[in-house]
Amino acid sequence: MRPELECAPCIFKWIYERAGVLADEERRFLLSRSILRTLSKEFCSGANLGSICNRILETIDEFILYSAQYYEPFKLKSNQHAKELLSAAEILIDKGQTDQEKLIRACCLASAGNIAPISGPSETFTFQEVITILKGKNPLPIVMGGVYEAAKKAKQILYIADNAGEIGFDSLLISKLKEWGPKITLLVKEDPFFEDATIKDVSFFHLDRLVDVLLTIKGFFVPTQGSSSLTDSLHQSDLVISKGTGNYEALQGEMNGKPTIYMLKVKCKPIATHIGADLGNFVVKIYT
C-alpha cells in the first residue's frame, strides 16, 4: 500500500511508543532522532508502507530488544485471555448450519481479535469485541467478496499472523481450513517483536502441530523483498490470508492478482478509504 501524507506521523507514533516503552527520556530522544532520520529518507508517495517500517526497524534493534522485557509478560497474559474464550468461540463456529457459515464465523472471530491500537498498547488484550459477539450483543464483522469460495478450493495457503493473543482465534480458523485438506504455511514474527505473535505464541496454542510449515520474519513481509523461502511459499500458495493493519499495508498492491483475504479492524482513514469500510469496523475482505 502506498502512503498518504498522514501516514508519516502514524508510522512515527506506532514505532516510537512501542520501541520506547521502557526507555528513559534521553534514550527516547535518541529513538526519536533515529526514526525521523530514516523516515525522512524513505517516506515518499511511491514507497510501500511496510517497507518504510522495515527500514526504520532495522535501525532500532537495541530498542526492540530492550522493549521485550515489557512485551513478554504482556503477550503471555493476552494469550491466556484469548485461551479462556476459545471454547465458546468454537461453539459459536460449530453452530453454523453449513460449511460456509462455519468458515465465515471463524474468519469473523479472527478479524474481531485484531484489536491492537495504533498507539502502543498499555493493557493486555482482553478481547471485549469477541466477547460481545459471543454474547450475541454485536453483529459479526463485515464480509466482503467470495471469501468462502476462495478458501474452499485452496490447496496451499500462506497465513500471515499478527498479534499474540489474537493468534488463538487464528488457530480456530486454521483448524477449520485444515478439515478441507490444504497445506498451510504460517508466518509469524522473529522474536522479539513488540506485541506481535512469535514462535512462543504459536506453541502456546499448539499451532505448530496443526500447520504444515512454520516460518518467521524480522519485520513485515513485503513480497518484493522477502527471503527465498517466503517468496517460494507465496508463489506456491493459491490463497493468502493476512491479519492486521501492518500486513495490509505491506501486502496490498504487491500481490499481482494472488487471491488474498484480509482480516482486520479499520483503524485509520487511509485504510477506511482503501478498503471501503468505516473507521472502527472489523472487516473480512478478499482481493483477487
**Which is nearest to 197 in space by CA: 234, 161, 241, 169?**
161
- The dihedral built from the CA positions of residue 189, 195, 197 and 200, taken in this order, carries a sign that is positive
* pLDDT tops 90 at residue 243: yes
At 174 the pLDDT is 98
CA distance 1 to 222: 10
Q: What is the pLDDT of residues 248-260, one digit of tens each?
A: 999 999 999 999 9
Residue-wise pLDDT tens digits, 109-143? 999 999 999 999 999 999 999 999 999 999 999 99
Strand locations in 30-170 (E):
142-144, 156-160
Tell me the domain boundaries of the chain: 7-64, 71-287
Those residues whose C-beta lies under 8 Å from the C-beta of residue 230, and which sit 6 or more positions away, are 187, 215, 217, 221
Does the pTM exceed 0.75? yes
Q: Which tens digits make up the pLDDT trace of 46-91?
A: 999 999 999 999 999 999 999 999 999 999 999 999 999 999 999 9
pLDDT, residue 260, reads 98
Task: Give me the half-sphere count of Cα atoms (radius 13 Å) on the Cβ side of residue 35.
Answer: 23
**pLDDT per residue over 153-172, tens digit each?**
999 999 999 999 999 999 99
> Quick check: 226 pLDDT over 90?
no
Phi, psi of 4 (to 5 degrees): -110, 165
pLDDT attached to residue 228 = 86
Residues 6+ apart with CB under 8 A from 146: 286, 288
Could you tell me the three cell numbers for 288?
483477487
Instruction: Say which CATH topology domain 71-287 has.
Output: Rossmann fold (3.40.50)
